[in-house]
Amino acid sequence: MTDVDAAGARELGILIKATQAALNQRMDEALRPLGLTVAQYACLSNLHAEPGISSSELARRTFVSRQSMNVLLQALEKQGMVERAPEPGPRRERAALLTSRAQTSLAQAETAVADVLARMLTGLDPTQRDALRAGLTACRDALLDV
Amino acid sequence: MTDVDAAGARELGILIKATQAALNQRMDEALRPLGLTVAQYACLSNLHAEPGISSSELARRTFVSRQSMNVLLQALEKQGMVERAPEPGPRRERAALLTSRAQTSLAQAETAVADVLARMLTGLDPTQRDALRAGLTACRDALLDV
DNA sequence: GTTGTCATGTCAACATACTGACATCAAGTC
DNA sequence: GACTTGATGTCAGTATGTTGACATGACAAC
């Protein structure tokens, strides 16, 4: 790898961090009026996409430790947003489900987040979006496989 | 924005988060043997690129609060990695500089990080890298400008 | 000169996330 | 059956990061 490649690679690393930081900040601003944090939104969104998954599975999908996800879930449980099955499943997991109140809250959150994402993608035509998706997928996969 | 666009946008948001999480994890693994955290590396790297900048400026460039950067700098000072000017500048800022020990430590860190970045970009030709850079830049800028 | 504004550095309190450790239970292995 | 392996949930301790608040000093406006 040449020097210019190395410099460009470092720039890309910083760019990934900067973009994620900006996106997180905007999402936080958009979700705060709804009383949700970004982590809570991610939790609810994943539970909506796949109801009944366990806390550990949820942790993996939101890129946090299962301990952190557990305290997050407990907070959401106190707020009446999720209900957890009292009876553990085959692998000791307790299924989590959204309450109807969480469904409506999540719907509002989804539109707020959609606005942020639409703003982020302003100026990128479908071809460019596909290129971005392909590039990020390649980066992620290259970093993930052991 | 159509439904498929919205779904694609959400996928992109998750992809940015996933890529950044994977990159951070690999960097952490690569830097741990050197006794550096990712935040510390970012701090040293920015100080190397622009010696003498203030703690607040450093905080902005590494996407953390200036309070967090201050405790980070104090830790690096205790380790003999940075020296801070005792005399504050015109705006009360205290310039930070790398010690020679930090220079050598940073050099090792740079090669370790370069390996991670090279791995990340495996499978992307220069054209694809340019497209990725352009896409991320557009996303970041669209989210940043008020 | 006085005032208002802004950025820095710093202190305190709080929130969040992580690691390490342990018990539990299912499923495979011998 | 006895054993190991792997995944989950949970407790405790710690590290890290954030917000809020305040004092300080420079600069511009008046």
Give the pairing of strands B82-84 and B96-98: antiparallel
Strand C footprint nucleotides (protein C-beta < 7 Å): 7-12, 16-21, 23-27
Residues B26-73: pLDDT tens digits?
Answer: 999 999 999 999 999 999 999 999 999 999 999 999 999 999 999 999
The per-residue pLDDT for B1 is 66
- Identify nearest nucleotide to residue A68 by CA to C1′ distance: C17
Residues A6-20: pLDDT tens digits?
Answer: 888 999 999 999 999
* Among B1, B13, B132, beta carbon nearest to A12: B132
Quote the CA–CA distance of A35 and B26 in Å, as a whole number. 33
Query: B41, B71, B39: which is closest to B55 by C-alpha?
Result: B71
Q: How far is A87 from chain B, CA to nearest CA, in Å? A: 31
Residues A58-71: pLDDT tens digits?
Answer: 999 999 999 999 99
Q: How many domains does chain A have?
A: 1
Q: How far is A14 from chain B, CA to nearest CA, in Å? A: 9
Q: Does the beta-carbon distance from A8 to B113 stay under 8 Å?
A: no
Query: B34, B30, B120: which is closest to A11 by C-alpha?
Result: B120
CATH number, domain of B29, equals: 1.10.10.10
Confirm if B54 and B94 have CB atoms less than 8 A apart. yes
- As a three-state string, the secondary structure of chain A is CCHHHHHHHHHHHHHHHHHHHHHHHHHHHHHHHHCCCHHHHHHHHHHHHCCCCCHHHHHHHHCCCHHHHHHHHHHHHHCCCEEECCCCCCCCCCCEEECHHHHHHHHHHHHHHHHHHHHHCCCCCHHHHHHHHHHHHHHHHHHHCC
Q: DSSP alpha helices (H): ranges in chain B? A: 3-31, 38-49, 55-62, 66-78, 100-120, 126-144
Q: Does the beta-carbon distance from B143 to A19 stay under 8 Å?
A: yes
Q: Is residue B95 scored above 90 in pLDDT?
A: yes
Residues A70-123: pLDDT tens digits?
Answer: 999 999 999 999 999 877 777 778 999 999 999 999 999 999 999 999 999 999
Mean pLDDT of B114-136: 96
The per-residue pLDDT for B86 is 78
* Among B12, B13, B23, beta carbon nearest to A13: B23
Domain of residue A70: give its range.
3-144
Q: Which residues touch strand D (CB under 7 A)?
A: A 54-57, 66-67, 70, 88, 91-94; B 37, 39, 63-65, 67-68, 71-72, 75, 88, 90-92
B25 neighbourhood in chain A, CB within 8 Å: 143
What dihedral do alpha carbons A96, A101, A106, A108 form, nearest 10°? 180
Residues A128-142: pLDDT tens digits?
Answer: 999 999 999 999 999
Buried b (16+ CB within 10 A) or exposed e, A33-59: eeebebbbbbbbbbbeeeeebbbbbbb
Mean pLDDT of A16-44: 96
